[in-house]
Amino acid sequence: MTAPAVFRLALVPGVNPDRWLRVWQQRLPDVPVELVHTSPDQAVELLRSGGADVALVRLPAVGDDLSTISLYTEATVVVVPKDHVVSVVEEIDAADLDDETLVVPLDDQLHWTDPPGTPFGGDPVPTTADAIDLVAAGVAVIVLPQSLGRLHQRRGLTARVVRDAPGSAVGLAWITDRYDDLTEEIIGIVRGRTATSSRGRGAPPPPEPTGRGRKPAPSGKGGSAKGAAGKGASGKSASGKGGSARSSSARSSSKKPNPRKPRPGR
């Protein structure tokens, strides 16, 4: 017996595919999904090397051999100590960070070209986790996609949405030449297609034909629908012995008394 195929889905930090995986399991229970966790800068190379079939990545993902679709855009948050002045509100503007020291790690995923605040003046910070350590120490603040803020959440820190900051787009990527029915299935799932509108392997089978293109004959003795409508079960007219309802009505109306009043005498 041939072992079922395994569909490999690469994930960058912060992306949560749980709702899509539940739909996949319902439609393709015989095809397990293997999650491959990777860093953002390695996701595309993982696809090219065959280490994953598709990947949930942060866009843009560049390459002539790639196909991508955008799924959603995350809000941007600033992570600060809980006693920071911005913690008293739910959202802030970028200008509220002008007086802050901002740390941007080497694995930054926001790519804000003109961020507020003063750049951190120490040695380059390799990772977001290292930058969070500086925030916890009260040395600097960091802005990053909201899901990464949740991923690096810890006691003593809080996050606030930066309203006018650029967002971070998340999308699905695959190697164009390796497109197949399983790729089409995951595309349909992340785009919200129902099982009946799926174009991939999980699509329901087409309905079986009922005949050779002929419409079923109407009920009755081969007569048209118009003829059948005017007859009862015995095939006789609904009005009686062979007469139509119209002629019966006409005979009935002819037996009514003349409604004219007598003419007065002269």
Q: Check whether residue 162 and residue 82 sit in a common domain.
A: yes
Residues 6+ apart with CB under 8 A from 87: 80, 81, 158, 160
Domain check: are 27 and 150 in the same one?
Answer: no
Are β-strands 76-81 and 157-162 bridged in parallel, bridged antiparallel, or unpaired? antiparallel
Tell whether 249 is covered by a domain: no
Domain match, 174 and 68 both: yes
Question: Using alpha carbons only, what angle is made at residue 144 by residues 141 and 148, rounded to the nearest 5 degrees?
Answer: 115
Query: Which residue, of 120, 150, 166, is where some domain finishes?
Result: 166
Q: Are residues 36 and 152 in the same domain?
A: no
60 with 191, same domain? yes
Q: What is the pLDDT of residues 120-150, one digit of tens each?
A: 999 999 999 999 999 999 999 999 999 999 9
Q: Is residue 52 a part of any domain in this protein?
A: yes
Q: Does 261 reside within a domain?
A: no
Domain boundary among 178, 197, 216: 197
pLDDT one-digit tens code per residue, 221-262? 444 444 444 444 444 444 444 444 444 444 444 444 555 554
Which residues pair with residue 158 across a beta bridge?
80
How many angstroms separate the Cα of 87 from the Cα of each of 83, 119, 161, 169, 253? Answer: 7, 21, 10, 26, 91
Q: Please indicate, yes or no, whether residues 187 and 115 belong to a single structural domain of this protein.
A: no
Examine the domain organization and report whether 173 and 158 are in the same domain. Answer: no
Range of the domain at 80: 76-166
Which position has the higher pLDDT, 102 or 207? 102
pLDDT tens-place string over residues 48-87: 999 999 999 999 998 999 999 999 999 999 999 999 999 9
Q: Are residues 114 and 186 in the same domain?
A: no
Does residue 161 sit in the same domain as residue 110?
yes
**Quick one: 64 and 174 in the same domain?**
yes
Residue 260 lies in a domain: no
CATH number of 80's domain:
3.40.190.10
Q: Are 161 and 184 contained in the same domain? A: no
- In the chain, the number of structural domains is 2
Give 153-195 pLDDT, tens digit per residue: 999 999 999 999 999 999 999 999 999 999 999 999 999 998 7
Residues 134 and 181 in one domain: no
In a domain, 256, yes or no: no
